[in-house]
């Protein structure tokens, strides 16, 4: 291994990255735009979980307690027949008629209707005997706060997979690898240079995106920065190695693109970036356990939201590093210049 | 002169085709050796085996009398037929990148002058013309000051003027005493640059030697051609001529005698054509097909 040769390839690859203005913009602004989009979409003071149609009932002193239930949007309805149709087609979860005689319609096949009905009936009865209400308190967590660690990790994933996998296949196809092979540069030196170069890029971009979104959204960061940096670094190493494994022999950019998509889509959906997998299909959860992104998102979220320290995410960092090492060994064995 | 590189019975097979089928030759130090043949003849595969880029299925290669080792890569220089450079770099940066991959490199000033790159140093490598690009790739091939230089169809796709300019650069390298191994399908290129050529067809060497020796072995010195219509209808063809299509052609070593005979017959010689055989003619004669067809 010659440090001089590795460094020369790292410099050339980084130059290629930062001089590609279009690609650079995409790499930095895309995640920021994504986070801001989520913040905007979910920025209402409260999120309505149910919709209830209401007919009549304009007199305030007769207002039933149910209408004060939070997280339900009450939508005034003019035409009774039309409103009943809306119940039938799940467009509203329940229809409440406040005219005399007071009554309500509910779709018996609608799970939402069932829940809202229970809420309605509960609102009109006394609290159940023998159960004491215990409020859960804590620092409020917005959805955007919850989703942000995932978006940062997702960005690391895309940058690592494509920035290495796709680029190497392109180099192989257009002859850059062949030209480099004719020099004393070894395959190991070349691969190490690609990893270093991409780690630098991922680190730089993640810091920028973190700072940028934090300035705009002021999200919580309760744990240690060092732990978060290590989680992202370990995650990047495992994902870069995955990218190297994909590109070890592939010659066609189309095939590489397909394979990288095949890797990234399950991770995007199953790694808990957008929603928690709590209570979903057990197989989906098992598969998720195998994906590096799952561990990255999980650890990052615990650090940022729950204030976890290095010791508490050691398991995830370990898994990511082991996965990275295994994939790296495999891909350096499988690597072909042409 | 001792042989710098010896190639003995090289074989390379791809599924369904024997691309290199028992090729042997020697190249002396300081010589320019050309592999000639149409596309698909096996030139590039042979060159890649010699470069160490492709492994042979059989045969032996010796460099300065011994098998090649890891240091071989440091003393050869290669200009590939199709090479892309990394995007977003200038000519200067490309030279620096390749220079830092070798333990030692030739001074940039010399390289730049040798390959005439002075005005192009700050240009993006993607914005070079065909000839400028080949000059940069040649400079990269020479960056480690190699003893042995491989040029794989270095002027294919260049316009005639750029091609001639490139030949001048190669002459310059030759004068430095470097050994050159090149492939080409331009016969003119081979006769201008090479001391010795091997004509390759379907993975085999069909003829080998100095270009002028090969021509004199296979052809008389000149071909004299006159249109049939200038000849009188009776009296047959002048001696030494035979009819081929619309023309009468004589292959001869004694142009004077032929011309004297034609003159004696008082024929109109306005359309007379004298040519010397070229390597193209030789290739056609040896293989039965033209160079540009595969």
pLDDT, average across residues A39-61: 72
Q: What is the ipTM of this complex?
A: 0.80
Tell me what pLDDT residue A45 has. 56
Residue A135 lies in a domain: no
Residues B241 and B262 in one domain: yes
Tell me the backbone φ, ψ of residue A2, rounded to 5 degrees: -110, 120
Domain with residue B15: its CATH number is 3.40.50.300
How many CB pairs (< 8 A) connect A and B?
69
Tell me what pLDDT residue A58 has. 62
d(CA B43, CA B7): 14
Residues A91 and A12 in one domain: no
Residues A169 and A28 in one domain: yes
Residue B65 lies in a domain: yes
Owning domain of residue B19: 3-216
Residue B134 lies in a domain: yes
Domain count, chain B: 2
- Residue B283 pLDDT > 90: no
Residue B68 lies in a domain: yes
User: Residue B294's pLDDT band (boundaries 50, 70, 90)?
Assistant: very low
**Which of B168, B187, B216 is the last residue in one of the domains?**
B216
Q: Is the dihedral of CA A280, A281, A282, A288 positive or negative?
A: negative
pLDDT, average across residues B59-82: 91
Residue A29 lies in a domain: yes
Tell me the backbone φ, ψ of residue A10, rounded to 5 degrees: -60, -45
Residues A281 and A192 in one domain: yes
Residue A130 lies in a domain: no
pLDDT, average across residues A306-318: 92
Residues B118 and B260 in one domain: no
d(CA A227, CA A320): 14
User: Residue A112's pLDDT band (boundaries 50, 70, 90)?
Assistant: confident
* Higher pLDDT, residue A62 or A213: A213
Residues A109 and A191 in one domain: no
Distance from CA of B229 to the nearest CA of A (A): 56
Residue A312 lies in a domain: yes
Tell me what pLDDT residue B83 has. 78
d(CA B151, CA B157): 14
pLDDT 10s digits, B236-275:
788 788 887 788 888 888 888 888 888 888 888 888 888 8
pLDDT, average across residues B9-15: 93
User: Residue B109's pLDDT band (boundaries 50, 70, 90)?
Assistant: very high
Q: Are B138 and B79 in contact (CB under 8 A)?
A: yes
Q: Are A185 and A239 in contact (CB under 8 A)?
A: no
- Residue A66 pLDDT > 70: yes
Q: What is the mean pLDDT of chain B?
A: 88
Residues A58 and A32 in one domain: no
Residues A114 and A166 in one domain: no
Residue of B86, B124, B146 to mutate, testing the A interface (most A Cβ within 10 Å of its Cβ) = B86
Q: Is the dihedral of CA B238, B244, B246, B247 positive or negative?
A: negative
Residues B196 and B261 in one domain: no
**Which of A123, A156, A179 is the last residue in one of the domains?**
A123
Residues A217 and A293 in one domain: yes
Domain with residue A104: its CATH number is 3.40.190.10
Residues B89 and B235 in one domain: no
Q: Are B159 and B130 in contact (CB under 8 A)?
A: yes
pLDDT, average across residues B168-190: 91
Residue B208 lies in a domain: yes
Residue A292 lies in a domain: yes
- A100-109, A120-129, A243-252, B252-261 — which is least confidently predicted? A120-129
CB-closest option in B53, B96, B103 to A182: B53
Q: Are A218 and A304 in contact (CB under 8 A)?
A: no
d(CA B225, CA B223): 6
d(CA B185, CA B221): 23
Nearest CA in chain B to A180: B98
d(CA B143, CA B112): 10
- Residue A318 pLDDT > 90: yes
pLDDT 10s digits, A70-97:
888 888 888 888 888 888 888 888 898 8
Domain count, chain A: 2
Q: Which of A171-185, A209-223, B208-222 has the highest mean pLDDT?
A: A171-185
Q: Residues, chain B, total?
A: 294
* Coil/strand/helix, residue A105: strand
Which chain A residues are within 8 Å of B88, Cβ to Cβ? Answer: 15-16, 19-20
Residues A10 and A60 in one domain: no
Residues B92 and B203 in one domain: yes
* Coil/strand/helix, residue A138: coil
Tell me what pLDDT residue A33 has. 82
- Does the distance separating the beta carbons of A184 and B86 come in below 8 Å? no
Residues A294 and A178 in one domain: yes
Q: What is the DSSP string of chain B?
A: --EEEEEEEEEEEETTEEEEEEEEEEEETT-EEEEE--TTSSHHHHHHHHHTSS--SEEEEEETTB---TTHHHHEEEE-SS-PPPSS-BHHHHHHHHHTTSSS---HHHHHHHTT-GGGTTSBGGG--HHHHHHHHHHHHTTT--SEEEEESTTTT--HHHHHHHHHHHHHHHHTT-EEEEEES-HHHHHHH-SEEEEEETTEEEEEE-HHHHHHHHS-SEEEEEEGGGS-SSS-PPTT-EEETTEEEEEES-HHHHHHHHHHTT---TT-EEE---HHHHHHHHHSS-SS--
Strand partners of residue A58 = none
Residues B89 and B32 in one domain: yes
Q: Which helix (H) or strand (E) holds A321?
A: helix A314-334
Residue B235 lies in a domain: yes
Looking at the complex, does the CB of residue A119 fall below 8 Å from at least one CB of chain B? no
Tell me what pLDDT residue B84 has. 78
Residue B205 lies in a domain: yes
Tell me the backbone φ, ψ of residue B85, rounded to 5 degrees: -105, 165
Q: What is the mean pLDDT of chain A?
A: 86
Tell me what pLDDT residue A133 has. 61
- Does the distance separating the beta carbons of A16 and B86 come in below 8 Å? yes
Residue of B49, B90, B98, B140 to mutate, testing the A interface (most A Cβ within 10 Å of its Cβ) = B98
Q: Are B1 and B26 in contact (CB under 8 A)?
A: no
Q: How far is CA A122 from the centre of its chain?
A: 36
Strand partners of residue A186 = none
**Which of B193, B216, B239 is the last residue in one of the domains?**
B216
Residues A118 and A69 in one domain: yes
- Does the distance separating the beta carbons of B93 and A176 come in below 8 Å? no
Residue B294 lies in a domain: no
Residues B113 and B35 in one domain: yes
Residues A108 and A153 in one domain: no
Residue A136 lies in a domain: no
Q: Which helix (H) or strand (E) holds A82?
A: helix A80-88
Distances (CA, A) of B69 to A47, B62, B64, B141: 71, 10, 12, 19
Q: Are B16 and B270 in contact (CB under 8 A)?
A: no
- State what percent of residues in chain A have pLDDT above 90: 41
Region for residue B107 given its phi and psi (left: phi exceeds 0; alpha: psi -120 to 50; beta: otherwise): beta
Residues A228 and A327 in one domain: yes
Residues B257 and B118 in one domain: no
Nearest CA in chain B to A2: B101
**Which of B197, B216, B235 is the last residue in one of the domains?**
B216
pLDDT, average across residues B63-90: 89
Residues B237 and B107 in one domain: no
User: Residue B5's pLDDT band (boundaries 50, 70, 90)?
Assistant: very high
pLDDT, average across residues B141-169: 92
Owning domain of residue A296: 3-42+142-334
Residue A58 lies in a domain: yes
Residues B192 and B81 in one domain: yes
State the angle between helix axes of A21-41 and A3-19 in degrees (0 to 180), rounded to the nearest 10.
Answer: 60
């Amino acid at each position: 291994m010659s440090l001089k040769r590795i460094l020369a390839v790292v410099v050339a690859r980084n130059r290629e990255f930062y001089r590609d203005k279009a690609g650079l913009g995409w790499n930095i602004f895309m995640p920021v735009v994504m986070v801001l989009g989520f913040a905007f979409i979910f920025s209402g003071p409260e999120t309505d979980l149910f919709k209830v149609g209401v007919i009549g009932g304009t007199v305030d002193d007769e207002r039933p307690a149910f209408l004060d239930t939070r997280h339900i949007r009450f939508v005034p309805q003019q035409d009774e027949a039309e409103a009943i149709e809306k119940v039938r087609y799940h467009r509203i979860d329940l229809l409440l008629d406040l005219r005399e005689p007071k009554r309500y319609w509910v779709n018996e096949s609608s799970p939402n209707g069932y829940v809202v009905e229970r809420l309605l009936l509960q609102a009109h009865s006394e609290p159940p005997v023998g159960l004491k209400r215990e409020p859960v308190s804590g620092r409020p967590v917005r959805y955007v706060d919850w989703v942000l660690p995932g978006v940062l990790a997702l960005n690391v994933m895309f940058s690592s997979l494509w920035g290495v996998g796709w680029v190497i296949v392109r180099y192989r196809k257009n002859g850059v690898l062949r030209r480099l092979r004719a020099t004393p540069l070894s395959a190991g030196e070349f691969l190490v240079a690609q990893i270093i170069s991409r780690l630098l890029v991922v680190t730089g971009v993640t810091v920028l995106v973190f700072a940028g979104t934090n300035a705009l959204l002021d999200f919580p960061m309760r744990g240690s920065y060092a732990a978060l940096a290590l989680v992202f670094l370990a995650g990047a190493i495992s994902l870069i190695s995955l990218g190297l494994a994909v590109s070890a022999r592939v010659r066609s950019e189309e095939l590489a693109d397909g394979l990288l998509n095949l890797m990234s889509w399950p991770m995007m959906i199953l790694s808990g970036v957008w929603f928690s997998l709590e209570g979903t299909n057990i197989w989906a959860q098992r598969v998720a356990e195998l994906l590096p992104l799952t561990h990255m998102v999980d650890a990052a979220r615990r650090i940022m939201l729950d204030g976890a320290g290095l010791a508490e995410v050691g398991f995830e960092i370990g898994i990511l590093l082991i996965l990275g090492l295994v994939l790296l060994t495999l891909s350096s064995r499988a690597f072909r210049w042409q | 002169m001792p042989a710098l590189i010896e190639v003995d019975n090289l074989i390379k097979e791809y599924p369904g085709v024997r691309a290199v089928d028992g090729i042997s030759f020697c190249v002396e130090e300081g010589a320019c050796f050309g592999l000639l043949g149409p596309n698909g003849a096996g030139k590039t595969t042979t060159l890649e085996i010699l470069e160490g880029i492709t492994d042979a299925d059989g045969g032996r290669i010796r460099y300065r009398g011994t098998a090649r080792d890891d240091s071989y890569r440091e003393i050869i220089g290669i200009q590939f037929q199709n090479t892309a450079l990394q995007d977003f770099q200038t000519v200067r940066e490309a030279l620096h990148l390749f220079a830092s991959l070798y333990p030692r490199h030739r001074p940039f000033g010399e390289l730049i002058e040798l390959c005439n790159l002075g005005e192009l140093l700050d240009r993006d490598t993607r914005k070079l013309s065909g000839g400028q690009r080949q000059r940069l790739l040649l400079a990269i091939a020479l960056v480690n000051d190699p003893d042995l230089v491989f040029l794989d169809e270095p002027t294919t796709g260049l316009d005639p003027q750029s091609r001639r300019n490139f030949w001048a650069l190669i002459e310059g390298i030759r004068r430095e005493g470097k050994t050159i191994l090149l492939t080409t399908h331009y016969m003119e290129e081979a006769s201008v640059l090479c001391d010795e050529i091997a004509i390759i067809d379907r993975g085999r060497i069909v003829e080998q030697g100095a270009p002028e020796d090969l021509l004199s072995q296979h052809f008389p010195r000149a071909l004299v051609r006159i249109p049939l219509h200038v000849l009188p209808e009776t009296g047959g063809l002048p001696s030494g001529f035979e009819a081929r299509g619309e023309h009468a052609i004589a292959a001869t070593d004694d142009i004077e005698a032929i011309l004297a005979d034609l003159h004696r017959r008082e024929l109109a010689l306005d359309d007379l054509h004298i040519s010397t055989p070229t390597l193209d003619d030789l290739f056609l004669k040896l293989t039965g097909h033209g160079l540009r067809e595969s």
